[in-house]
Structure 1
Amino acid sequence: MTTQVSRLSWPLIVLLGVFALVRPVLNITGAVDALGRPLGPVLVTVVISVVWLAAVVWRRSARPVLTLACAGLVYGVLAVALSAVLPPLLRGELMGPLPTPGGIGVVMVLLANAVWGATVGLVALAVRSWWQPNGR
């Protein structure tokens, strides 16, 4: 497993994780409300997922499931950090997973985003096998 992780494209993983920060930024600033709820957050999540999917298929990532699970974890860590900084500055109060008792909120954010990334990675495998049946 260590060898697989070390052979991943970490610049791509970090770039995809950072790109996904558009989601909490739009939420924290209230900009997502312009799209309406619940459509706004869902639409933003779908756009991020499509970008992630396209990136690993286009780059022909050897391990799209692991790559995107790691991107989800990077995003989760950055989103938790962002939620510790932006809401107090913009709204004067701590929001997000940090105020939850026992750190369970942070664990759930990391788990949910790793699962999100892995799920998009599974879709990428299916798309790649359909689009490139010989694996080229």
Structure 2
Amino acid sequence: MSRRLSDRLGMPLLGVVGLAALAAPRVVAHDLDLVSPAVNSVLVFAPLLAWIGVVWWRRVPNPFVTLLAVGVVYGVMLAVIHQLLWSRSFDGAPPELGGNLAGVLAPAVESGVIRVFAFGGSLVTGTLVGAATGAVAWLLAKATRRGTGPE
């Protein structure tokens, strides 16, 4: 199955994970507030341009599917890194529920609810980033006749 998936993606699974990992340093830098906005912008866009460039250069069968997979893996990395750096990134003042839910739940339950939604949000974000870059790469492949996927 792994071989069929690698064939469909046009690259080994390790390549998919490697591309996703290119975007991980930005998550750490952002959560720990380590870089300026200008450097953060480079850390945001350079990996995405690399994703597009790699799938274009490799002539993957379907750049959209390949980068969607990269985005899903990136979303998992994003979620895990955010969870690992949670206390540090909020500097001892984690988010709390507000409105009608303020103070209703036990602190541990409230924290758990917020973390679960943050985890899910990271997965959605990574998947959407993969879909957006995949769409750009698919259009680029079609425009330059480098795509080999279905018309």
TM-score, normalised to structure 1's length? Answer: 0.74
Deviations 1:78-106 (A, max 9, x none): 1221222234468765969xx46262222
Give the 3 Å change call, closer, same or farther, for CA 100–120 of structure 1 in structure 2.
farther
Cα contact 1:23–1:44 (8 A) shared by 2: yes
Alignment of 1:28-47 (within 5 A): 28-32=31-35, 34=36, 36=37, 39-47=38-46
Two-structure CA RMSD over aligned residues (Å): 3.1
Alignment of 1:1-136 (within 5 A): 5=5, 7=7, 8=9, 9=11, 10-32=13-35, 34=36, 36=37, 39-88=38-87, 93=92, 99=111, 101=113, 103-132=116-145, 135=148
Cα contact 2:80–2:119 (8 A) shared by 1: no
Cα contact 1:84–1:94 (8 A) shared by 2: no
Q: Paired residues, what number?
A: 128
AA matched with 2:127: A
What secondary structure is seen at the aligned counterpart in 2 of 1:31? coil
Deviations 1:28-71 (A, max 9, x none): 23222x2x3xx554442221210110011111111211111111
* Larger relative contact order (Cα-Cα within 8 Å, sequence gap ≥ 6): 2
Cα contact 2:23–2:43 (8 A) shared by 1: no
Bigger-Rg structure (1/2): 2
The answer for unaligned runs of 5 or more in structure 2 is 96-110
TM-score, normalised to structure 2's length? Answer: 0.68
The answer for unaligned runs of 5 or more in structure 1 is none
Q: Distance in 2 between matches of 1:95 and 1:77?
A: 21
AA matched with 2:73: V
